[in-house]
Amino acid sequence: MLDETIFDLTISGPVICIACSDDGNKIVVGDRNGNLTLLEKNGQIIWEKNIDEGVHGLAIIGNGNKVICGGKDCKLRMFSSMGSIEWEQTIGKSIWSLAADPNGQFITIGTGDSIILFTEAGLQLWEYPTNRAMVGTGISRNGDVIVGCGDEYLYCLDSEGQLKWERQRSDSLWDVTVDKSGENIFVGGWDEKVHCLNINGNDVWDFKTEGYVRAVEPLENGGVIAGSHDGGIYRLSSAGDILTKINTDGEITSVSVSKLEDFTAVGLSNRICGFKIDSNARPIKQEINPVPIELQTPKEEKIEEEYEPMFGVGMFDEPIPDTTGILNREESVPEKRTYETYSSSSPSSTNYYNESAKENIGGEFRKFASEVVKGDVKNYLRLGNSAWIEKRLERAAEHYKRATEIDPEEPRAWHNLAICYYHLALKRNPENIKGAVQSAYAELEMAKKKGGNEYTAPNKTLEYFASQLGLETE
């Protein structure tokens, strides 16, 4: 395996999308500040333009003769290689994703509620309503197969805009693409896997990474290249074998690869990096060492008074629940232990602990199989932490919300609920950072109020939110 950094360039805004030409000699980048930048393979900037709003969709045709972009300003544009506008179409709604077919004849875009197909000249052919933001789109050669994803839903359309099939996946999706033949569909999302589906939407294989998969792009000779939140670039064969892995030091938001598969460009926060890769790489042997099973004597489970944090820091400093101990203050522990369901006044609390619900609940109940003191806020914090570990954000939010009801003075409950609301909002709409922050702000302010000066977790989370929005904190 060979991988070599060709360039590492910092730009003014967080990278959202990236595309490189067939020969890999030109790279185009769109960022959240609305900047469109065309680069040479060595990282030299050819031209840069600001188009007022965030750029969320990009494609580059052939060896860089045409650049197509769309974004929050509700316009689809085609630029020449010199940066002049060849045509512009007002869509009337934000563009969340974009892809061009390998022959450069058709362009598909994902909007806030639909998938639309255009010709290379900017003529709209059809629009298919999805009623959700299409954060990922892909198109095969000649536009025979068009795919789009949003929330947990995956759509496959034919060249006439007719629905071939629709699937609901197990978790929210970030990106989808299709190979030039239309035979293989690749999906990435919050379950940390790269999935390969056939033309009928059935699973063929999946590959596990260590972070959610933000971007996928098909390879010319079969297979896919993917960028994961774990900082890894994964190049996989058509059979799902790993051919190349490049470890970066940032959160990968986008990835693209040349037709020769000898060069890849990635977006890492506000950086653009180019890597040389070995186009003749053979599958990397994956060695799995068996873990011996230790026999344990049964013993009564005990919930410790002081529990250790489950994480040190978030992935690339993103906000995570605070799993440290309760603040040193007078605690109120109810005299009576109750085991009833939640109050019916809360819509999300109905039958919270009934037996049928337990059958579908994850490991937090396996871990806390012993009696739970329903009036002790610590138990709900622990349950929330355990659900968070399993990436079951909705369930974690329910536990943290119950913790705020039992003890409204406990700042960690408010802080952790805010974190869940933030990530749940991102799952619904990955690019709406402002909306995600707004969904968490009230609970975060409550955590600051309840925790006072001695509780610093909300301050760190607010700093992160400010950095994501390009603001300054006091």
Q: How high is the pLDDT of residue 198?
A: 97
Q: How high is the pLDDT of residue 263?
A: 92
> Each residue of 397-413: pLDDT tens digit?
888 988 898 889 999 99
Exposure class string for 166-175: b at 16+ Cβ within 10 A, else e: ebebebbbbb
Q: Which of 28-42, 70-84, 163-177, 363-377 is least confident? A: 363-377
Query: What is the Cα–Cα distance from 119 to 463, expressed in whole angstroms?
Result: 44
Q: How high is the pLDDT of residue 3?
A: 56
Kindly tell me if the per-residue pLDDT of 393 is higher than 70. Answer: yes
Q: How high is the pLDDT of residue 33?
A: 87
Q: Which of 76-85, 102-111, 282-291, 322-331 is least confident? A: 282-291
What is the three-class DSSP state of 208?
A: strand
Q: Which is higher by pLDDT, 122 or 377?
A: 122
Q: Which is higher by pLDDT, 326 or 145?
A: 145
Section 282-308 average pLDDT: 44
Q: Which is higher by pLDDT, 329 or 60?
A: 60
CB 388 within 8 A of CB 420: yes
Q: How high is the pLDDT of residue 471?
A: 64
Tokens of 386: 């355990």
Q: How confident is the model at residue 283 (pLDDT cuts 50, 70, 90)?
A: confident
> Each residue of 437-463: pLDDT tens digit?
999 889 989 988 988 888 888 888 888
Question: Across 8-17, 66-75, 120-129, 379-388, which has the greatest mean pLDDT?
Answer: 120-129
Q: How high is the pLDDT of residue 286?
A: 58
Cα distance from N-terminal residue to C-terminal residue, the chain: 47
Q: Which of 112-126, 137-151, 190-204, 422-436 is least confident? A: 422-436
Kindly tell me if the per-residue pLDDT of 1 is higher than 80. Answer: no
Query: What is the Cα–Cα distance from 56 to 122, expressed in whole angstroms?
Result: 18
Residues 6+ apart with CB under 8 A from 69: 28, 30, 36, 51, 55, 57, 58, 59, 76, 77, 79, 98
Q: How high is the pLDDT of residue 115?
A: 98
Q: How confident is the model at residue 316 (pLDDT cuts 50, 70, 90)?
A: very low
β-pairing, 184-189 vs 173-178, is: antiparallel
Q: How high is the pLDDT of residue 375?
A: 56
Residue type at 234 in one-letter notation? Y
Kindly tell me if the per-residue pLDDT of 322 is higher than 70. Answer: yes
Q: Which is higher by pLDDT, 118 or 250?
A: 118
Section 254-280 average pLDDT: 90
Q: How high is the pLDDT of residue 168?
A: 93
Q: How high is the pLDDT of residue 285?
A: 65
Q: Which of 12-16, 78-82, 87-91, 255-259 is least confident? A: 12-16
Q: How high is the pLDDT of residue 360?
A: 46
Residue corresponding to tokens 């460009």: 265
Q: Which is higher by pLDDT, 103 or 390?
A: 103
Q: Which is higher by pLDDT, 296 or 276?
A: 276
Q: How high is the pLDDT of residue 166?
A: 97
Q: How confident is the model at residue 347 (pLDDT cuts 50, 70, 90)?
A: very low
Q: Which is higher by pLDDT, 309 or 18?
A: 18
Percent of the chain with pLDDT over 70: 80
Helices then strands, each counted (H, E), the chain: 7, 28
| DSSP line for 287-335 | --PPPPPPP---------SS---S-SS-GGG------SPPPSS-----S
Query: What is the Cα–Cα distance from 49 to 52, expressed in whole angstroms?
Result: 9
Q: How high is the pLDDT of residue 46?
A: 94
CB 113 within 8 A of CB 133: yes
Query: What is the Cα–Cα distance from 363 to 369, expressed in whole angstroms?
Result: 9
Q: What is the mean pLDDT of the chain?
A: 81
Domains of the chain: 3-277 (2.130.10.10), 315-469 (1.25.40.10)
Percent of the chain with pLDDT over 90: 48
Q: How confident is the model at residue 51 (pLDDT cuts 50, 70, 90)?
A: confident
Q: Which is higher by pLDDT, 173 or 282?
A: 173
Section 383-408 average pLDDT: 86
Kindly tell me if the per-residue pLDDT of 93 is higher than 80. Answer: yes
Pick from 442, 447, 456: nearest CA to 412: 447
CB 411 within 8 A of CB 327: yes
Exposure class string for 34-70: b at 16+ Cβ within 10 A, else e: bbbbbbebeeeeeeebebebbbbbbbbbeebebbbbb
CB 255 within 8 A of CB 292: no
Pick from 195, 161, 157: nearest CA to 175: 195
Section 60-82 average pLDDT: 91
Section 133-140 average pLDDT: 94
